[in-house]
A and B are shown apart, each in its own frame.
Chain A
Amino acid sequence: MKREKKTLGLVAAAFFLAAGACTEPALAYFTTHVSAAGGHELELDFTTTVPKEEVSQWVKYLEIENTGNEDCYVRVKAFAGEGIGLQWTADGNWSKGPEDYWYLRTPLSPGSTAGGISVKIDKGAAKDDFNVIVVQECAPVSYGADGKPLGFEETDWSQRAEVKTDSAGAENRGDEG
């Protein structure tokens, strides 16, 4: 009886050995991986321009200075009461365009001043005081895919900042996308 048990034990051991030897090796695959990352900081500044006017002989001589840190395009326009005539004189750097504005044809770089434009006022029959108001706007230069600045005709003057405010004092950074 004892001998039979011993034999059976040997048989079982032999089977285990055989099964172990025949088992497929653990599956492993050749793989590799590599990675790299990088980035740059974005520096954004508000574009600001300051108009300067000089009046002489019923003519307003205009100058606009870029006091910001980015190139921008500029456009100017004047308003006056009924019966007041306005006659513009501008050099080749300016073009008359949509919405009765005069558009600077080339970007105005930071610290630069654009002149060469004036408006002559014809008071006509007006006897009382009157105002002639000059309005100027600026828009940051947009860049095309080639990195070159887009022309003044392509400037989107309807752009508005998407402002999010938080009266509680907490900061809100606007919508995504």
Chain B
Amino acid sequence: MKRKKNRNRTFLLFAASAVLLMMSTVGSTRAALTYRSENYEMKFDVSSIGVTLLENGTAVSRRDYVDDQWQEESGALLTNLLEEGESLMPGRSYEERLSVQNSGSIDSYVRVTLYRGWTKDGKSMDTELSPKLIGLDLSSGDWIEDVSAATSERTVLYYRNILKSGQETPPLCTALRIDPAVARKVSETHTETAEGTVVSTRFAYDGFQFQVKAEVDAVQTHNAEEAIKSAWGVDAEIAEDGTLRLTSQGQ
């Protein structure tokens, strides 16, 4: 009798799991059919995210997901800062409007990380010269600075609003200016020789190249809080109107 009861329970469990399995299979099949149908009739592409960095209104670099593959174009900043044969003037404000365009087919949130520094060889950054002397006129309002992530070399800015497909953000930076204080920093090297001490004087910043780098990240707006946390590692709150707020700093 007890054995029969056990067998019944086993059959019941088996039946329940079989039903569960069938239901899940049915669901998947339906989803697959729907997807194929839309894909076939509408060429509905849900994964086409893309972003473009603009400098003074001109696209510099872009990375878009098109036709199941990444399409990338990479350029350089500041190539048109000076005229042919012109030297950089410390103190002068040069137009440097940086903005971001959504070049994908889905809306996204974007952030831009700006790096600045001095380099002699164009590769490694000098750690003694001050990045603060490379002035960038940053915009506020639509762009929020994450002050907790800021260093003298790095500035992280989040675009507050949803960047709709095809739209361009207002500029996050409008001008670049090298502080004239670079011309007041002088270094002297005293070298002892048989004839006496030789003093060599030169400008500390002479021959150094200032470098500005902009990194743009974009993430989907669907399930945005989790997506931002996963992709960027920051806690953000999304208001009903889609406005982004960094919870770490109450902005």
Which positions in A face B, CB cutoff 8 Å?
A: 4, 7-8, 10-11, 14-15, 17-18, 21-22, 27, 29-46, 140, 142-147, 159-177
Summed over the interface, the residue pairs from A and B with CB atoms below 8 Å come to a total of 223
For residue B147, CB closer than 8 A to chain A, the reply is no
- What are the residues of chain A within 8 A of B122 when measuring CB–CB? 39
Are A40 and B78 CB-contacts (below 8 A) given A35-B53, A173-B128? Answer: yes
A168 to B197, CA, bound (A): 11
Which of these binds chain A: B10-18, B138-146, B238-246?
Answer: B10-18
Please determine whether A38 and B231 come into contact, CB atoms closer than 8 angstroms: no
In the complex, 12 of the A-B residue pairs with CB atoms within 8 angstroms, ordered by the A residue number, are A4-B6, A10-B14, A27-B230, A30-B219, A31-B227, A32-B70, A34-B53, A143-B91, A163-B186, A165-B189, A172-B188, A176-B128
Please determine whether B79 and A31 come into contact, CB atoms closer than 8 angstroms: no
Please determine whether B187 and A21 come into contact, CB atoms closer than 8 angstroms: no
Which positions in B face A, CB cutoff 8 Å?
A: 6-7, 10-11, 13-14, 17-18, 20-21, 24-25, 28, 47, 49-53, 55, 60-65, 70, 72, 74-79, 81-82, 87-94, 104, 106, 108, 115, 119, 122, 128-130, 132-133, 175, 177-178, 180, 182-192, 197, 199, 201, 203-220, 223, 226-227, 230-231
A108 to B74, CA, bound (A): 43
Q: Give the residue name and chain of the A residue nearest to B74 (CB).
A: A36
Q: How far is the CB of B150 from chain A (nearest CB, A)?
A: 16
- What are the residues of chain A within 8 A of B187 when measuring CB–CB? 163-164, 171-174
Other-chain residue from A14, A42, A143, A162 in contact with B208 (beta carbon distance below 8 A): A42
Beyond A35-B214, A176-B132, 11 extra complex contacts between A and B, CB < 8 Å? A4-B10, A11-B10, A14-B21, A33-B217, A36-B75, A38-B77, A39-B210, A145-B177, A146-B92, A147-B94, A163-B187
Please determine whether A44 and B214 come into contact, CB atoms closer than 8 angstroms: no
Please determine whether B231 and A31 come into contact, CB atoms closer than 8 angstroms: yes
Other-chain residue from B92, B189, B223 in contact with A143 (beta carbon distance below 8 A): B92
Which residue, B49, B75, B94, B203, has most C-beta atoms of chain A within 10 A? B203
A162 to B183, CA, bound (A): 9
Are A164 and B188 CB-contacts (below 8 A) given A30-B219, A34-B61? Answer: yes
Q: How far is the CB of A109 from chain B (nearest CB, A)?
A: 13
Other-chain residue from A27, A32, A45, A177 in contact with B226 (beta carbon distance below 8 A): A27
Please determine whether A161 and B184 come into contact, CB atoms closer than 8 angstroms: yes
Other-chain residue from B20, B79, B216 in contact with A35 (beta carbon distance below 8 A): B216
- What are the residues of chain B within 8 A of A21 when measuring CB–CB? 21, 24-25, 28
- What are the residues of chain B within 8 A of A39 when measuring CB–CB? 78, 119, 122, 209-212
- What are the residues of chain B within 8 A of A14 when measuring CB–CB? 14, 17-18, 21
A120 to B213, CA, bound (A): 59
- What are the residues of chain A within 8 A of B192 when measuring CB–CB? 169
Q: How far is the CB of B26 from chain A (nearest CB, A)?
A: 10
Please determine whether B214 and A37 come into contact, CB atoms closer than 8 angstroms: yes
A163 to B227, CA, bound (A): 51
- What are the residues of chain B within 8 A of A17 when measuring CB–CB? 17, 21
Q: Give the residue name and chain of the A residue nearest to B106 (CB).
A: A30
- What are the residues of chain B within 8 A of A34 when measuring CB–CB? 51-53, 61-63, 72, 74, 215-216
A154 to B24, CA, bound (A): 79
Are A32 and B218 CB-contacts (below 8 A) given A18-B20, A42-B206? Answer: yes
Please determine whether A15 and B104 come into contact, CB atoms closer than 8 angstroms: no
Which residue, A29, A140, A145, A168, has most C-beta atoms of chain B within 10 A? A29
Q: Give the residue name and chain of the A residue nearest to B18 (CB).
A: A14
Please determine whether B184 and A160 come into contact, CB atoms closer than 8 angstroms: yes
Please determine whether B93 and A37 come into contact, CB atoms closer than 8 angstroms: no
A94 to B89, CA, bound (A): 26
Q: Give the residue name and chain of the B residue nearest to A172 (CB).
A: B187
A161 to B185, CA, bound (A): 6
Other-chain residue from B25, B28, B61, B204 in contact with A174 (beta carbon distance below 8 A): B204
